[in-house]
Amino acid sequence: PAPKPRSCRCAPRVPAAPCPRRAPCRGHRLTPADDEMYQRTRVMVLEPESPNIMFIEGYSTRGFTISGDVVVGPCAVLPRSILQWNVGSHRDISHESLSLFRLLEPKIEILVLGTGDRVERLHPATLKQMRECGIAVEVQDTANACATFNFLMNERRIVAAGLIPPRGTYGV
């Protein structure tokens, strides 16, 4: 005679008790200290209409729109004025080309340099000379340099920018 097959049970013999469902707690209030824990973000709207600050509204391969004025080519954006800046590329940025920024009164705290489509390295001696004059230098691609300049101006910092238009992209 053939042996009987043995049956095998894979499920528990006693049914599991249903899990009590709790409603999610939605009525709690968060304090400002909880913002960091929950990684909330805040949006700050910059004020381009303020007559006391320069504001970079846009850029293109030809130049910049700054506080309603169109500037063709590289420019130096100072706290209350805009000047043409006689540099063709990041290779032309030197101690001499930055002398304008060292002569400003009141002395600027931060110089934001926009080097075109991408961040370009400047000569370390040039950066060191600016630091020795008490001016921090931030080298960025032009798109980020424009945004950084606007942000710092909105914070009422004493800041200037040296900007070279990008060659291959358009910005807003």
Per-residue confidence of the chain (172 residues) as pLDDT tens digits?
555 555 444 445 555 555 555 555 554 555 555 555 555 555 555 555 556 678 999 999 999 999 989 999 999 999 989 999 999 899 999 999 999 999 999 999 999 999 999 999 999 999 999 999 999 999 999 999 999 999 999 999 999 999 999 987 544 4
- Per-residue pLDDT at 168: 75
Q: Using alpha carbons only, how large is the chain's radius of gyration in Å?
A: 29
33 within domain boundaries: no
Beta bridge partners of 137: 111
CB 83, CB 75: distance < 8 Å: yes
- Per-residue pLDDT at 53: 79
- Per-residue pLDDT at 11: 47
Cβ within 8 Å of residue 115, ≥6 positions away: 90, 93, 122, 139, 140, 141, 142, 145, 164
Within 10 angstroms of residue 160's Cβ, the number of other Cβ atoms is 24
How many domains, the chain?
1
CATH code, domain with 104 = 3.40.1230.10
Q: For residues 122 and 140, what is the distance between their CA atoms, to the nearest angstrom? A: 11
CB 60, CB 170: distance < 8 Å: yes
Structural domain boundaries enclosing 81: 56-163
Minimal CA–CA distance to 115: which of 91, 149, 131? Answer: 91
